[in-house]
Amino acid sequence: MSAVSFDSVLTGPGLRLVLLSGVPSPWSEAALAIFRYKQLPFVYSRARPTDPAFQSWNGARNLPAVLLDDAPVRTSWGEILAVAERLAPEPRLLPDEAEARLRTLGLCHELMSEGGLMWNARLLAIDSGLATEGREGFPLRAAQYLAPRYGWHTSCAELARKHAIRVLALLNAELARTQGPYYAGSQLSALDLYSAASMNILVPLPDSVCPIVPPLRAAFTWMGQTLTEAISPALLQHRDRVVAAFFEAHL
């Protein structure tokens, strides 16, 4: 694993990742942790959607993006996880047993997909940023940029909050059910990596571990505060364990 230029990622062979720069995106940081855990040889670069080089590339509109030789670019969490599992079946991040596999993938979906926890937490911060001109939630310019991308409308906040709290309750119940250090008990799974990366957005780790520019740190902190009653100590303790063991020193 090594960091290279954006051009090198686009033109090189093999497995390459383009990750979001400047923000500890749970999608990007979990993708990086997955490929590191699999000990796959890859290179990566970081970019922002506003970078001219990224905007001129026709390969993807969202980050992270995974490139593998001449195969189509993958950008969704499910596609990225599937590529990692195929390239390195061991150590596996999805259970082999069917019911456990479905449970793990279902909870990953509730976290990471459109309409999931991260989606709805962002909708809450978008709504508050627009309503308060950036005094709460996202800064106003960020809220205006993100609103059409997330389907914001004037009555979305209440439903978004309910969905987010429901997913947090599912995660809490799963940790309590297995009574292990991980969601699957003693075995790390993809859900652990996605959950830890997501909890770090809602309750960001300190700048010494996870540097975030102050306006975005304030926005992420606001997200967690508006959902605070649903974020259990167990979820944060799990985040701390997984981040310390499987994520880069600085997210």
**pLDDT for position 50:** 87
Taking Cα atoms as reference points, which of 34, 40, 48 lies closest to residue 14?
A: 40
pLDDT in tens, 127-181: 999 999 999 999 999 999 999 999 999 999 999 999 999 999 999 999 999 888 9
**pLDDT for position 6:** 92
Contact 53, 9 (CB under 8 A): no
Cα–Cα distance, 163 to 114 (Å, whole number): 12
**Strand pairing partners for 239?**
none
Taking Cα atoms as reference points, which of 34, 28, 36, 47 lies closest to residue 1?
A: 36
Residue segments in the chain with a per-residue pLDDT below the cut of 70: 249-251
Look at the alpha carbons of 209, 172, 246, 10 in this order and tell me if their dihedral is positive or negative.
negative
**pLDDT for position 58:** 86
Cα–Cα distance, 251 to 248 (Å, whole number): 6
**pLDDT for position 250:** 55
**pLDDT for position 242:** 97
